[in-house]
Amino acid sequence: MGNNYEDECRRSLAEEQAKSLAGTNNWEHVDRERVHQDWDVLYREITAFLDGGSLPGDQQVQELVRRHFDIACRFYTPSREAYVGMSLFYAEDEAMRAFHDSYHPGLVDFLGAAIKVFAEQGSGFAPSAGAEASA
């Protein structure tokens, strides 16, 4: 994955989140406590697969990533690029990395790799901001 693609993913995440935040009064509709509870359960499940030697592309891991994507969609439905951008944000933001890695020291990297596989194979994504602009 090249730097240009990663830059596009970061830009898509920023643009799509800004648009969603503005249109929903800062995600007023989201039950944040429930989201964090659901992510907590999910991250513990992913950690078990990580400890068990699973790979990011394994079917069971991809099913867990589908659940992660579904939880993210409670805020808004990200494009494929914005979803990959989310994994980059988890890795690059110090607080997000610390939060995720508090579950397992390799969670951010494992989840990021699994999200990239999901994005390459998955469906159900919103069109990227760039695709909307060029349509």
At 16-47, the pLDDT tens digits run 989 988 888 888 888 989 999 999 999 999 99
Q: What is the pLDDT of residue 133?
A: 39
Phi, psi (deg, nearest 5) at residue 126? -75, 155
Q: What is the pLDDT of residue 125?
A: 73
- Residue 7, amino acid: D
Which pTM does this prediction carry?
0.87
Using alpha carbons, select from 29, 69, 25 the residue that is nearest to residue 46.
69
Are 128 and 6 a contacting pair, CB within 8 Å?
Answer: no
- Residue 54, amino acid: S
Q: Report angle CA 128, 134, 135 to the nearest 5 degrees.
A: 90
